[in-house]
């Protein structure tokens, strides 16, 4: 199975993700897998990433 390594995540973000995982009774790794799976399968429009937006040219 592929692995991801994400650099430069703020300490505040990591702390919030750990708290979220704990509140759901999961490890940080399990919580992040679910977050990524949800984001990858979501039908909602992704938010802008670092000032680079997604342009829908299908219409």
Which pLDDT tens digit goes with each residue over 28-45?
A: 999 999 999 998 888 666
CA distances from 57 to 13, 46, 52, 54 (A): 33, 15, 15, 9
- Model confidence, pTM: 0.66
Maximum separation of any 2 CA atoms in the chain, in Å: 43
Radius of gyration, alpha carbons of the chain: 14
Determine what percent of the chain is predicted with pLDDT higher than 70: 71
Least confident of 14-18, 19-23, 30-34, 52-56: 52-56
Any idea which residue has 């199975």 for tokens?
A: 1
SS3 assignment, position 49: strand
């Amino acid at each position: 199975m592929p692995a991801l390594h994400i650099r430069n995540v703020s300490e505040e973000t990591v702390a919030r993700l750990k708290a979220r995982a704990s509140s759901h009774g999961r490890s940080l790794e399990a919580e992040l897998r679910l977050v990524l799976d949800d984001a990858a399968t979501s039908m909602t429009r992704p938010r802008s990433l670092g000032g680079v937006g997604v342009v829908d040219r299908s219409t």
